[in-house]
Amino acid sequence: MPELPEVETVRRGLLPHLEGQRIARLRLNRDGLRWKFPPDLVQTATGATVTGLRRRSKYILADLDRGASLLIHLGMSGRILIEGAGVGKFHRDPAILPQHDHVVIETDSGGLITLNDARRFGMVDLVRDDRSPLLDLLGPEPLDAEFTGATLAEAFAGRRAPVKALLLDQRIVAGLGNIYVSESLHRAGIDPRRAAGRIGRARLDALASHIKDVLHEAIAAGGSSLRDHRQASGELGYFQHSFRVYDREGAPCPRPGCAGAIRRVVQSGRSSFWCPACQR
């Protein structure tokens, strides 16, 4: 599933083609994806102008001038395609089959914004005032200035659960997933199995800083393309070439001076990758 950097990369790719544009037509090619589309989706969106394009956790919100926002989630395999007039180098990969085009937005300028989702785990919903069960319980954004070691210390206080599990909890930190948690914990030198409540404040300060660094680097690289993720331009992300531990079981630890090797352990059904020699 796309994590924060992949979703932010898609949002940025969409900005010049959707923000400030009037939606001339919204076409639904089925009655829903993960669940049914709102019955007033087409009526609300058609003729509306997109006043802003935001990200919250792993969701994209397209704000409309009618007091509502389109809430978009890419699910496991969803892709945003940009085609039509004036879109420059944006192109459609012929391997992306048109029968999986489920939501198509046509703008007044002739652009086509398509949600293509082969597995249909994505979603498009309507929200007002950002009120939705999908958004209400989300934790802080890790790229916000207010996200610090103090944020983690408060959330982890007295908790015996592994730090990896708590960082994946969207109520504690919004937008993190398996890849970037593994990478951040390695940089911070923290064992993913360590009880979160037993990590000292100085180490949590460092962890919060490393989380920000990893996310910024991943966004700059266009995210990580492991299976389905592509940027809105159709290009692949490149951060997977910078992985230090994720999916590198058996490889030497890249930390200077460390003689350890990367190991894999399953935590709550998810693979964690870490170096037992330098992550304590």
Q: What is the domain partition of the chain in residue ranges?
A: 4-127, 149-241
Tokens 């982890």 sit on residue: 156
Active site residue 3: yes
Q: Which CATH number fits domain 149-241: 1.10.8.50, 3.40.50.620, 1.10.1740.10, 3.40.50.300?
A: 1.10.8.50
Q: Which of 3, 6, 106, 183 is catalytic?
A: 3
123-142: average pLDDT: 96
Active site residue 58: yes
Least confident range of 79-93, 144-158, 247-261:
79-93
What is each CA distance from 55 to 97, 126, 135, 137, 152, in whole angstroms? Answer: 27, 15, 11, 15, 22
Active site residue 270: yes
pLDDT bin (cut points 50, 70, 90) of residue 96 is confident
Q: Which of 11, 55, 56, 58 is catalytic?
A: 58
Q: Which of 2, 38, 140, 192 is catalytic?
A: 2
Active site residue 217: no
pLDDT bin (cut points 50, 70, 90) of residue 51 is very high
Which amino acid, 180? Y
At the fourth CATH level, which superfamily is domain 4-127? MutM-like, N-terminal (3.20.190.10)
Q: Which of 34, 217, 270, 276 is catalytic?
A: 270
Would you state the pLDDT for residue 235? 54
The string of DSSP codes covering 150-216 is HHHHHHHTT--SBHHHHHH-TTTSSS--HHHHHHHHHHHT--TTSBGGGS-HHHHHHHHHHHHHHHH
pLDDT bin (cut points 50, 70, 90) of residue 221 is confident
